[in-house]
Amino acid sequence: ERVRGDSSTSSFSSSSSATPMKKTRPLTVSEMNQQMHHYLEKDVLGPSTPDSRYVLEDVPYGLVLTVILGRLVGCPLTLHESGIRILSAMYGRNFMAENELLQGLGLIVDEDGCDNIPSLDKWREMSFSGSFL
């Protein structure tokens, strides 16, 4: 296994005419990119349009859920919330309010995604009584 600082396997080259690269697990993002360019012999780019599932699906269904769970356990995720607000402004959408699954569970009560979220104790009480919002 390769160790950081071992120069015997870190001589990467973007030219395909160079000596073959020894297959090792990359330790840095730079090394990973160099290996992808070498083996694929083309650029590896991210999404080419802003309408990417990386935002349109992952933000309302992944990031928003993470923020809500953080609120439930009393650990606000302010940077995540800021990211949601910035992306919402960029896309002209309200990603906090777009997750109908969380709305159905009562985790997001209004269109603004406000903090009307039951506490964990309230959820426990509702689960035992069988009555949800």
- Alpha-carbon distance 85 to 116, whole Å? 18
6 pLDDT more than 50: no
pLDDT band for position 120 (cuts 50, 70, 90): confident
- Alpha-carbon distance 55 to 76, whole Å? 21
Q: What is the pLDDT of residue 118?
A: 67
Q: Which is nearest to 112 in space by CA: 73, 64, 66?
A: 64
Overall pTM > 0.85:
no
Helices (H), 44-119: 53-56, 58, 64-72, 78-91, 100-104
* C-beta contacts of 41-46 below 8 A and 24+ residues apart: 41/16
Q: Residues 6 or more apart from 115 whose CB is under 8 A from it?
A: 71
What are 45-78's pLDDT values in tens digits? 666 677 888 889 999 999 999 998 888 888 889 9
What are 122-131's pLDDT values in tens digits? 777 877 787 6
- HSE-up of residue 1 (Cα within 13 Å, Cβ side): 3
Place of tokens 């159905």: 104
Q: Which is nearest to 65 in space by CA: 111, 106, 99, 88?
A: 99
